[in-house]
Amino acid sequence: MAQSEATKRANSEAQSPSSSIARFGEDAPLHLDAGVSLSPFQIAYETYGALNEDKSNAILICHALTGDQYCASVQPITKKPGWWETLIGPGKPIDTDRYFVVCSNVLGGCLGTTGPASINEKTGKPYGLDFPIVTIADMVRAQSMLIDYLEIETLFAVIGGSMGGMQVLQWAASYPDRVFAAIPMATGARHTSQNIAFHEVGRQAIMADPNWHQGKYTDEGVVPSKGLAVARMTAHVTYLSEPALQRKFGRQLQDRENVSFGFDADFQIESYLRHQGSSFVDRFDANSYLYMTRAMDYFDMAEDNDGKLANAFSGTNTRFCLVSFSSDWLFSTAESREIVHALNATGASVSFVEIESDKGHDAFLLDEPEMVATVSGFLNSAAKARGI
């Protein structure tokens, strides 16, 4: 399959994003958990609102697996509104009239921050699998360099869901003095066996696509679109919940009165999933998907702290607000509770809300009034304490 216009656009955004860029040269290498250094590299980021005089009002938003820096602005490929406009904007809970909001594409991503789709200066070709494996801690290390670059000492808050929530936890652990408040949502302190399993299935689907070419598909002028679509479809089912699927789609047929007695998309859920798969391919790089899923799989904060999660947060002054969703079976409430227990053990300031919702893991991205109210209330109270 030749490169579509969408693929060209995606490649262009990977190299020269529509957003701002912070470049780090040979003098500022990024030391990775894999034991190697990355240099040069760049971070693509968006900002909203203005930094106040004492630089106390900065909020860092961390995006999820397939998210990007366009949390509150139009995504340049899909032309869709920002993915978290429910929460972020003027007068919204994360009020851009009040806070300076920063959101960067994660390390290893494909929307302008250096990742496997970026051109390796040493070869003139995309890194592909020559890109080093990155961890959640590496992503956070890169973000801290961006925060330095923006001359911000302490973040008022770090907020994110799912893989974004992992980054929030890692920020609080790696840079406790730089995080005043933290909101990890729909997340866990380690990736479970089941979650690794679903990621592995997605990776195998991508790597099984002959167009993948051991990650060198751009050199071949093709895209492993079928494999990537299957990976996305599998993952997408895990982002929803059985009750939500039943309510939204049930066994309703798509544009027909009767089943076709064939393998067409008879059911609405089939048609929906196929659309999710094919539209994803236009905006996301297959290798980047491999790297993002691997970063999540490797995440285990207890393992990194002598088997004791509480050690990750000992002596922390950060105030935490954890949010989980009752029907989220990918990052269940039990996962959040483990974090709450660890934080309690260290005497940290912790709020925890489990929100009743049938919308599954995806709920954190949707307009859930109780979530909006929780974030708003917690941030207002933290802002008061911070004197903003």
The interface region with its own copies, picked from 29-37, 99-107, 344-352, 377-385 by CB under 8 A, is 29-37
Q: What is the DSSP string of 7-57?
A: HHHHHHHHHS-SSEEEEE-TTSPEEPTTS-EE-SEEEEEEEES---TTS--
Mutual angle of helices 225-239 and 268-283, in 10-degree steps: 120
Verify binding: residue 34, its own copies, rule CB under 8 A: yes
**Interface with its own copies includes 33 (CB under 8 A)?**
yes
Phi, psi of 138 (to 5 degrees): -65, -45
Nearest distance from residue 289's CB to its own copies, in Å? 12
The three-class DSSP label of residue 297 is helix
Number of neighbouring beta carbons within 10 Å of residue 116? 27
337 binds its own copies (CB under 8 A): no
Contact assessment for residue 119 and residue 126, using Cβ atoms and an 8 Å cutoff = yes
Distances (CA, A) of 83 to 71, 86, 364: 5, 8, 10
Q: For residue 354, what is the enclosing H or E element? A: strand 349-355
Chain centre distance of CA 136? 10
Q: Does residue 37 interact with its own copies by CB under 8 A?
A: no
Instruction: Check if the beta carbon of residue 60 is closer than 8 Å to that of residue 102.
Output: yes
- Decide if 328 is catalytic: yes
Q: Which of 162, 225, 241, 336 is labelled catalytic?
A: 162
217 forms beta bridges with: none
2 binds its own copies (CB under 8 A): no
Stated as kind and residue range, the H or E segment containing 61 is strand 58-62
Look up residue 146 and give its amino acid: L
For its own copies (CB under 8 A), the number of binding residues is 58
CB 262 within 8 A of CB 243: no
Look up 255 and say whether it is catalytic.
no
Binding mask 253-272 for its own copies (x = CB under 8 A): ------x-xxx-xxx-xx--
129 binds its own copies, rule: CB under 8 A: yes
Does residue number 319 form part of the binding site for its own copies (CB under 8 A)? no
Binding region for its own copies (CB under 8 A) out of 43-51, 80-88, 149-157, 194-202: 194-202
Residue 207 binds its own copies (CB under 8 A):
yes
Site string (150-189) toward its own copies, x via CB under 8 A: ----------------------------------------
* CB-nearer residue toward its own copies: 300 or 354: 300
For 239-270, letters b (16+ CB in 10 Å) and e give bbbeebbeeebeeeebeeeeeeeeeebbbbbb
What's at 82, amino acid-wise?
A: G
Stretch that binds its own copies, among 33-41, 59-67, 98-106, 114-122 (CB under 8 A): 33-41
The one among 200, 219, 220, 356 contacting its own copies by CB under 8 A: 200
Active site residues: 162, 328, 361
Residues of this chain that interact with its own copies (CB under 8 A) are: 33-35, 129, 132-133, 190-194, 196-198, 200-201, 203-205, 207-210, 226-227, 229-230, 233-234, 237, 240, 242, 245-246, 248-251, 259, 261-263, 265-267, 269-270, 273-274, 277, 290, 294, 297-298, 300, 303, 329, 332
